[in-house]
Structure 1
Amino acid sequence: MSDDISQPIDMLSTTTGAHYYWQSHWDRLVDLFGRNEFCMGFGGTFILTFTVYWTVGIVYTIVDVTGKPSFMLKYKIQELTPAYPISAKLLMAIIELAFFVIVEEIAFYYSHRLLHNPKIYKYIHKRHHEWQTPIAITAIYCHPIEHIFSNLLPLFLGPFILGSHLSTSWAWYTLAIMNTLTDHSGYHLPLLTSPEAHDYHHLKFNENYGVLGILDRLHGTDTNFRKSKAFQRHRVFYSLRPIKDLYPDETNKSD
């Protein structure tokens, strides 16, 4: 008699626990998107489908192109090995682009930080910082020495080191130019990269020297930025509401 009663109670407890587990994670996801139906319906669905498609697709493609892990090949049902000239080139282009990003982060961070050295700042980099609230086209408003060694060289190094195809180099230059224009634009638009970090650099001068923020975090050159309201807004967002509405300034308190 007691066994018959305890079983449904245990099952109910298990069901309730599972429901709470999934509900709590769903609530966190909803909070991440700001509880906006458009964000969840459009942005969330796009991220989900994009991530699943390309993650799984790239795994299969890597096996086809490299033949590794070899145990996977015995499960392949096609008798002929398909040719993947486009897929292989696309995969290599993605790898090269990732390398370019890393090289640019290193080269730009250290060259940019050097330009802020008090001994040379007023002679070279000060011209660029005449715009404390920059606009997009002022991205290359700078001394010729700065433009060559801190703007152009970090972009050129990656393709030069790898001897990349011109088409890959052009794709990289396009992405990099669009990013620097956004960084200086003063506009934080939905679905685009955040300009908050570099805008903060122009405002405060002595933080956020890099592009990705990795070396700034490593060297502690983003300490005040990470405490600011701008850091809370420093993200790609998927709402049509302005980011300053989602993360409003505190009343009577500046960053």
Structure 2
Amino acid sequence: MVLWEGYVSDEVMGTFAPIVVYWLYAGMYQLLPPLDRYRLHTRKEEEQKNLVPLLSVVKGVLLQQLVQATVAQVLFLITSSATGTPIQPSILVQLIQIFVAMLVMDTWQYFVHRYMHQNKFLYRHIHSQHHRLVVPYAIGALYNHPLEGLLLDTLGGAISFLISGMTARTAVFFFCFAVMKTIDDHCGLWLPGNIFHIFFKNNTAYHDIHHQLQGSKYNYSQPFFSIWDKMLGTYMPYSLVARQEGGLEARPSKD
């Protein structure tokens, strides 16, 4: 039994819980005190380098989430009609399904993301919108061109759901987890004890390298592992260096 049982369906939760989690988790980061000693970029850099105002970022994210919710409802409707009321598998099976979904999502996003960088037309007209946030922050995690949001995140999530064979109930936990991981990768903070930094090498600093000029052709992998980068020669390791003015800086390293 889960907390929402008897109140809303698993399909409704699978559609809207990730959106609620996005704004709660990203909002938490946005409302934190400055924490300058844990920032990967100074606040001055964020103000000077970013090419899009916060309001436009919020509008862009909301548009992507509208499309995402629409696709999710259609997907859940089709799968529930085809399978009827599913039997919830054991915890072990659900964990295996989530792991499979993570691998599928990583594979889809790596190749689509990489192609959007290598194709000059797609980068100029589509993917460059995300890179207007030269200094990433939490609320901007899903700030993309609408077409990129559909292809990379929404379609990638749908494929992960279908291939893993998970139920709508399991999908609630998987998609909420994926949303939190994506937000953390863009939060711009290296906080001590952050569980995502402990368990994932593909983390805030790893993705920050990709947003820097010298790393824009590297570290395409997202949101979980760095497998494809390492296998296909696009892996750029990093080291964290303390800045004189306070805070940390993620620098490419040869390790």
What TM-score, normalized to structure 1? Answer: 0.54
Deviations 1:89-116, CA, capped at 9 Å, x for gaps: 1011001001001101100000101111
Amino acid at match of 2:204: P
- Contact 2:104–2:160 at 8 Å: present in 1 too? yes
CA drift of 1:145 comes to 0.7
2:96 paired with 1:98: no
Q: Which residue of 2 aligns with 1:118?
A: 120
- Unpaired runs of 5+ in structure 2? 1-86, 197-202, 243-247
2:219 paired with 1:208: yes
Q: 1:107 to 1:249 in 2, by over 3 A?
A: closer
SS at match of 2:166: coil
Structure 2 CA distance, aligned partners of 1:135 and 1:129? 12
Q: 1:144 aligns with which of 140, 143, 146?
A: 146
Q: 1:219 aligns with which of 220, 232, 239?
A: 232
Q: 1:166 to 1:209 in 2, by over 3 A?
A: same
- Unpaired runs of 5+ in structure 1? 1-84, 234-241, 243-247
Q: Which residue of 2 aligns with 1:191?
A: 194
Structure 1 CA distance, aligned partners of 2:91 and 2:168? 14
Bigger-Rg structure (1/2): 1
Q: Which residue of 2 aligns with 1:172?
A: 174
Deviations 1:110-130, CA, capped at 9 Å, x for gaps: 010111122321010001000
CA drift of 1:188 comes to 2.1
Q: CA RMSD in A?
A: 2.9
Q: Which residue of 1 aligns with 2:137?
A: 135
Amino acid at match of 1:146: E
Q: 1:143 to 1:254 in 2, by over 3 A?
A: closer
- Contact 2:218–2:234 at 8 Å: present in 1 too? yes
Q: Which residue of 2 aligns with 1:229?
A: 239
CA drift of 1:249 comes to 6.9
Q: 1:201 to 1:89 in 2, by over 3 A?
A: same
SS at match of 1:188: coil
CA drift of 1:139 comes to 1.1
Amino acid at match of 2:206: A
Amino acid at match of 2:91: L
CA drift of 1:175 comes to 0.6
SS at match of 1:108: helix
Structure 2 CA distance, aligned partners of 1:191 and 1:183? 11
Greater relative contact order structure (CA < 8 Å, 6+ sep): 2
Structure 2 CA distance, aligned partners of 1:149 and 1:198? 20
Q: Which has the higher helix share?
A: 1
SS at match of 1:229: strand
CA drift of 1:165 comes to 1.1
Q: 1:133 to 1:91 in 2, by over 3 A?
A: same
What TM-score, normalized to structure 2? Answer: 0.54
Q: 1:156 to 1:188 in 2, by over 3 A?
A: farther
Structure 1 CA distance, aligned partners of 2:115 and 2:205? 22
SS at match of 1:119: helix
Structure 2 CA distance, aligned partners of 1:149 and 1:109? 12
Give the percent of matched residue pairs that are identical in Structure 1 and Structure 2: 28
SS at match of 2:108: helix
CA drift of 1:254 comes to 8.4
Structure 1 stretches of at least 4 aligned residues deviating more than 4 Å after TM superposition: none
